[in-house]
Amino acid sequence: MPISTVNTSAFEGQKPGTSGLRKKVGVFKQPHYLENFIQSTFNALGDCEGKTLVVGGDGRYYNQTAIQIILKMAAANGFSHIWVGQNGILSTPAASCVIRKYQAFGGLILSASHNPAGIDGDFGIKFNTSNGGPAPESITNQIYQQTTEISQYRISNAADIALHKLGLQNLGDMTVEVIDSVVDYTELMASIFDFPAIKALLTSGDFSMRFDAMHAVTGPYAIEILEKRLGAPAGTVINGIPLPDFGGGHPDPNLTYAEQLVTELFSDDAPDFGAASDGDGDRNMILGKQFFVTPSDSLAILAANAQHIPAYKSGITGIARSMPTSQAADRVAEKLGIEAHETPTGWKFFGNLLDANRVTLCGEESFGTGSNHIREKDGLWAVLFWLNILAVKQQSVAELVNLHWQQFGRNYYTRHDYEGVPTEQAEALIQHLQTQLSTLPKKQFAERTVSYADNFSYHDPIDNSVSEKQGIRIGFEGGDRIIYRLSGTGTEGATLRVYIESYEDRPARLNQDTQTALSELIDLANQLAKIVELTGRTAPTVIT
C-alpha cells in the first residue's frame, strides 16, 4: 500500500473544546487542516500499530469526505481494524455503544452536535477513548500541543472505501468493516427497557406521541425503534431523514428551534407525548400535552423513577449533574441516600464517576441525559426512559411532573443565551464579575443574601485532576443561584449563558410561570453582570 508523508505546517486555534474541535466547514476544507488535526490526534495517542478504531458521524455536510481521509490516515498510521457506520452515519451515543461493544481502542466522531450544518455551516470532530466517552483534558491537551508542533502527516494513496456496502473491505493491511448504523444501538436499548410495556402503551389506541428528529442523525434510530420495533404508527417520527444541511434548520431540541414540534404539542389536539433530538443524537427535549419538562427536572424525575426500568430496578449508585444544571437531582439523591456530584460542563467529566460506579445517572441542563450504559449523553435513551415510566405509571407527563414537585419541591430554572457576542465584550463581562466575587458574600439584594460567590473549580474524586474557572457562581441563602458561563460549542464569537434558579416548596406556588417566578433574579443577574452596558444586548437570543 503506497503511503505518502506530506510536509505541512501548524494551524493556529486547533484546540479541542469540551466536545472536540469545531469550526466552519470552510476552515476544515483548507488544505492540510483536517489532516493536521487527525495526525496530531494519532501522535498524541502514541503507537497506533495494531489498534482498532470506530469512525462515524452525524451525516452533516463534509462527513463522508472527512471519513475517507481519516480511514486512509488510520491505515498509514498502523491501525489494524476500523468499524465505520454505513454511509458514514453513527449517532454519538451509537458510536459510544459500538466502541464499548467491540472493545475498540477508541473512536473518532464527526459532529458539531446541535450546530447548523451545510456548506456554510459547522463541522466538528472529537476523539473518544476505549470506555466510549470523550477524551479527558489530559488527552485533549496533548492533541492541542501536537497541533502546534506538527510538520508532517502520513496518508495512504489507496482508493476510497465503499461506505454504502456492508461488510469487510481492505485498505492496505487495515480492515474496514462497514456496519449497520442502527443494529447494535437498538439491541442495547432492548436490553435496558421494557419494550413489551412500551409497545403496549404505543399500540393501545389511548396514547399518541410525536418524535422530531430534525432531519438529523436520530431519524433512522427512532424509526427503527419507535415505529418498527415498538409499533408506533408510521409518521410518529417526523423529519426523520438525515440531510447534509439538516433541512436548513438548527437541530437544537429546545423551545425555540424545535418550533414545529412545540407548536403541535401546545395545540388544542396535541399528542400525549413529544420529544426531539439534536444533530448527533445525544440531546433530548421532553414535552407533554401543553407541557414542557426542563432538562434539569427530567434528570431528577428519571432518577426518582429508575426502579421502574429493568436495567436500574436494583437501584442506582449516584447522580451527577453539571454545575449549571439545577439542584433538583440533588434533592432526589438526598432522599434516596445516594451520592450526588456537581461537575464542570462537558460530558467527559462524568466518565470517571461512571467507570468507578460512583454514579448511574447523569445529566446537563443543555438537554443532555444519560447513564452508565454508554459514556455519552443519549437522546433516544432518555425518550425511551420516559415512555417506560409512563407505561408503568399510567400517568400523563404533567401529572408525573406535578407529583414530583409535590414530593421534592420545585427548582424554578431558566437559561438565557446571548449568542454571537463579540469575544472581547464577553470576556470583559466575565472579568467584571470576577472582580466582584470577593465582595459579594453577605451582601443583601432585596430579600436575598449572598452566601457564596466564586469561579467554580472541580476536583475529580477519582483521578484527583483539577479543572478551574468553570463558571461564575453566585449562591444565595435558601438555595437560589445565578451562574454565568461562556460556552465553547459555537464557532463565531462567544455565547454568554446565564442560568437562574430558585427553589420553591410551598404547594400554592408550584405552578407559576417560570419567567414570572424568576423575574427578580433575572433582573438581578442582568444588573450584576451589566449585560446591557457591556454587550449592548437588551434581550437573550434564546430562553429555555
User: What number is the average pLDDT over the span 138-162?
Assistant: 96
Least confident window among 55-64, 148-157, 436-445, 488-497: 488-497
* Residue 472, beta-bridge partner list: 455, 484
Q: Tell me how far CA of residue 472 lies from CA of 63, 342, 369, 416, 478, in angstroms.
A: 36, 14, 23, 15, 18
Strands ordered across the beta sheet of 361-364: 339-343, 318-322, 361-364, 368-371
Kindly indicate the confidence band of residue 112, based on its pLDDT and cuts at 50, 70 and 90: very high
Domain closes at, from 380, 408, 436: 408
DSSP symbol at 308:
G
- Choose the catalytic residue: 40, 91, 113, 296: 113
pLDDT at residue 381 in the model? 98
Domain match, 152 and 199 both:
no
- Cα(467)–Cα(375) distance, rounded to whole angstroms? 20
- The answer to whether 137 and 143 have CB atoms below 8 angstroms apart is no
447 Cβ contact partners less than 8 Å away, ≥ 6 residues apart: none
Domain match, 60 and 136 both:
yes
Kindly indicate the confidence band of residue 348, based on its pLDDT and cuts at 50, 70 and 90: confident
- Cα(519)–Cα(500) distance, rounded to whole angstroms? 10
Domain closes at, from 128, 152, 181: 181
pLDDT at residue 489 in the model? 55
- The answer to whether 161 and 84 have CB atoms below 8 angstroms apart is yes
Whether the pLDDT of residue 266 is over 80: the answer is yes
**Is 113 marked active-site?**
yes
Q: Which of 385, 366, 383, 502 is nearest to 445 (CA)?
A: 502
Domain match, 341 and 297 both:
yes
pLDDT at residue 1 in the model? 66
Q: Tell me how far CA of residue 219 lies from CA of 252, 377, 378, in angstroms.
A: 14, 17, 14
- Cα(61)–Cα(311) distance, rounded to whole angstroms? 37
* Nine cell digits for residue 536: 449592548
Kindly give the residue spans of alpha helices, DSSP state H, lying in 231-294. Answer: 259-265
* Nine cell digits for residue 209: 406521541
Whether the pLDDT of residue 353 is over 90: the answer is yes
The Cβ-side half-sphere exposure at 344, using a 13 Å CA radius, reads 27
User: What number is the average pLDDT over the span 181-206?
Assistant: 98
Domain match, 275 and 387 both:
yes
- Cα(399)–Cα(273) distance, rounded to whole angstroms? 12
- Percent of the chain at pLDDT > 70 equals 99
Q: Which of 213, 212, 252, 197 is nearest to 89 (CA)?
A: 213
Coil, helix or strand for 529?
Answer: helix
User: What number is the average pLDDT over the span 61-69?
Assistant: 97
pTM comes to: 0.94
Q: CB atoms < 10 A from the CB of 499, how many?
A: 22
- Cα(91)–Cα(213) distance, rounded to whole angstroms? 12
- Cα(348)–Cα(105) distance, rounded to whole angstroms? 17
The radius of gyration computed from the CA coordinates of the chain, to the nearest angstrom, equals: 23
The Cβ-side half-sphere exposure at 202, using a 13 Å CA radius, reads 29
Domain match, 164 and 256 both:
no
pLDDT tens digits for range 326-341? 999 999 999 999 999 9
Q: Where residue 364 sits, what CATH number does that domain have?
A: 3.40.120.10
User: What number is the average pLDDT over the span 461-481?
Assistant: 94
Domain match, 190 and 290 both:
yes
Q: Where residue 485 sits, what CATH number does that domain have?
A: 3.30.310.50
Domain match, 380 and 494 both:
no
Kindly indicate the confidence band of residue 491, based on its pLDDT and cuts at 50, 70 and 90: low
- Cα(428)–Cα(423) distance, rounded to whole angstroms? 8
pLDDT at residue 488 in the model? 58
544 Cβ contact partners less than 8 Å away, ≥ 6 residues apart: 254, 255, 256, 294, 367, 414, 415, 417
Work out the burial of residue 247: count CB atoms within 10 Å of its CB; fewer than 13 is exposed, 13-18 middle, 19 or more buried.
middle
pLDDT at residue 490 in the model? 53
- The answer to whether 354 and 372 have CB atoms below 8 angstroms apart is yes
Whether the pLDDT of residue 19 is over 90: the answer is no
Kindly indicate the confidence band of residue 376, based on its pLDDT and cuts at 50, 70 and 90: very high
Domain closes at, from 181, 200, 222: 181
b/e sequence 428-463, b meaning 16+ C-beta within 10 Å? ebbeebeeebeebeeeebeebebbebeebebebeee
Whether the pLDDT of residue 129 is over 80: the answer is yes
Domain match, 171 and 91 both:
yes
Q: How many domains does the chain have?
A: 3
Domain match, 177 and 192 both:
no
281 Cβ contact partners less than 8 Å away, ≥ 6 residues apart: 58, 91, 92, 93, 94, 216, 217, 218, 221, 378, 379, 380
* Nine cell digits for residue 239: 423529519
Q: Provide the mean pLDDT of the chain.
A: 96
- The answer to whether 60 and 109 have CB atoms below 8 angstroms apart is no
Domain match, 401 and 416 both:
no
Least confident window among 44-48, 279-283, 288-292, 486-490: 486-490
Q: Which domain holds residue 470?
A: 410-543
- Cα(84)–Cα(175) distance, rounded to whole angstroms? 11
pLDDT at residue 502 in the model? 97
Domain match, 508 and 531 both:
yes
Kindly indicate the confidence band of residue 152, based on its pLDDT and cuts at 50, 70 and 90: very high
Domain match, 414 and 365 both:
no
**How do beta strands 318-322 and 361-364 pair?**
parallel
